[in-house]
Amino acid sequence: MPAQRLVDRHSLKILNMESAGIPSNNSHQQLMSAVEDNDSGLESTAASSLVSIPGERSKMHVSCGGVTLGQWVTMAILCFVNLINYMDRYTIAGVLDDIKTAFDIDDDKAGLLQTAFVVSYMVFAPIFGYLGDRYNRKYIMAGGVLMWSLTTLAGSYMNSYGSFILFRLFVGIGEASYSTIAPTIISDMFVKEKRSHMLALFYFAIPIGSGLGYIVGAHMASSLGSWHWALRLTPALGIASVLLILCLLEEPVRGESEGTRVEASHNTWWEDLKLLFTNKSFMLSTAGFTCVAFVTGALAFFGPSFLILGFKLIPGDDSAKEDVSFKFGVVAMLSGLIGVPLGPFLSQLLRSRYSRIDPLICAAGLIISAPICFFAILSPTTNKTLCYALIFTAELFLNLNWSIVADILLYVVPPSRRSSAEAYQILFSHALGDASSPFLIGLVSNNLKKILNPDSFTIPTNTSVPVTSSDVVDFHSMQYALFITCFIEVLGGLFFLLNAIYIRRDKEEAEKEASCDALPEPTHFIANDPREK
């Protein structure tokens, strides 16, 4: 009996050409391996005998810890861009008092600066999500990063409130392209535990970048004598990152990490929306994450200025603005360094025993953080060290959520809709989260100033700088407004507890749909090798 080979139709054509005396291709690429004339040998070599896929993209295969060099380079670029993304976003918070003085604005208009940025960010996120599921993600990201870099730089030269807020709107459009697409590239490179670890690495950039934004913003403004300079460092880093994206970043095939090759989505926008809205785990995790965004946005934006108001009322304290911004930034970074990886670490530790552990960790983080945050908001007029310690602890538990929420989205949504899912999560979490919270907190604070009676507060007399009744009212009005964040944290915890009910079912359904969406493999069949007689 002649030896057999497992071949596809194209390979069989090559064999027939050789048997007919037609010269064969002299390429040294091995198309198939011989199969021994027995059943076990045939099965064992089936996988190795598949014909190479024409046009397969070349990759850097040097591996470290099971991750190729190309994947490490791509991760480094994504993390770097995410870091300067959040650094740029919170630079304004580090110099907020200077901006309020320059434009002569109150808390509500100051909060509107962040709200305007996030509104454009969330409105354009679904558009970039739709494009990211259908077109080359690398070029979409590069264009978006270039846009926010140039508009941030242009905004630093504006000297009126109206023109400055207009450029903040443009910055939001550019950042939407990157934040929507980057997590989906990570999901297409890695799977399971490795994906969780890489997402944790990616989301390190949120607290680290935010902390650097406070520190660098305040330092640049202090050193160069103007708050405008605080906005001119990140654009240079952003333009450099565009070159890195275009030259070095690898875009993986959609669904590649799951062992499938998924076509770009052909669903309409409305079809994608209906499928996502009926996904209970996606909707509940998005609702919980919206609460995280609300609290983070309010505390991050008003935190330094609130502490400056409170520390001014402590007898003998002489904290400078840049000193408070620096320490607040360090606390934010340290809480992120511990909290962001702690979330996925606990998840990996407990997931084998508790399949619903991810939303439960998120719920616990928010519910534990709420009372600690309450006492942190109470403490600025009593003890600075205690205040910073409470802020650190509250933010640590809050930071447990970031990479876990991203991981939940990626395993309850199939690959063909992930960019759209990221976009809609950004839309809702920012619309009701950090887009509205700075303006809402500022608005509540301003209205409280009108009704609080200065005579009901004790004005300290032995402080390092003179304190007026207006200073006391400003502090307490902001303090009462920030208490709203504690209630929102508890609400977010309840959403994640509900999410735990549906998480296992929705994960299984997403895996089933991903396998159905996979591109079909080439047809293979057993054929006699005409060269064997």
pLDDT reading at 134 higher than 90: no
Give, for 527, the enclosing helix (H) or strand (E).
Answer: strand 524-528
CATH code that applies to domain 68-250: 1.20.1250.20
- Judged by average pLDDT, the poorest of 29-33, 132-136, 408-412 is 29-33
Q: Is 1 a residue whose pLDDT tops 50?
A: no
- State how far the Cα of 141 lies from the Cα of 127, in Å rounded to an integer: 13
- Cα→Cα distances 377→216, 312, 491, Å: 25, 15, 19
pLDDT tops 70 at residue 519: no
- Which H/E stretch holds residue 526? strand 524-528
Give the pLDDT confidence score for residue 266 in this predicted structure. Answer: 54
Beta strands in 55-125 (DSSP E): 63-64, 67-68
Of 71-75, 285-289, 405-409, 451-455, the range with the highest mean pLDDT is 285-289
Given a cut of 90, is residue 290 above it in pLDDT? yes
The CA distance from 436 to 119, in Å, is 9
| Residue 56, token pair as written in the block | 């397969």
Q: Which fold has domain 268-515?
A: Growth Hormone; Chain: A; (1.20.1250)
In terms of average pLDDT, the best of 57-61, 137-141, 290-294 is 290-294
Say what the pLDDT of residue 335 is.
Answer: 92
**In this structure, what token pair is assigned to residue 202?**
């990616």
State the pTM of this model.
Answer: 0.70
Q: How confident is the model at residue 9 (pLDDT cuts 50, 70, 90)?
A: very low
Where do the structural domains in the chain lie, given as residue ranges?
A: 68-250, 268-515
pLDDT of residue 137: 85
Task: Select the highest-mean-pLDDT range: 27-31, 84-88, 133-137.
Answer: 84-88
Predicted pLDDT of residue 294: 93
Of residues 49 and 458, the one with the higher pLDDT is: 458
The larger pLDDT score, comparing residue 115 to residue 332, is at 332
**Other Cβ atoms closer than 10 A to 53:** 10
Q: pLDDT band at residue 257, thresholds of 50, 70 and 90? A: low
> Which percentage of the chain shows pLDDT scores above 70?
77
d(Cα 282, Cα 415) in Å, to the nearest integer?
14
Cα of first residue to Cα of last residue in the chain, in angstroms, is 8
Burial of residue 280 (number of CB atoms within 10 Å: 0-12, 13-18, 19+) = middle
Whether the per-residue pLDDT at 371 is higher than 80: the answer is yes
Check pLDDT > 80 for residue 282: yes
Q: Are 143 and 88 in contact (CB under 8 A)?
A: no
3-class DSSP assignment, residue 8:
strand
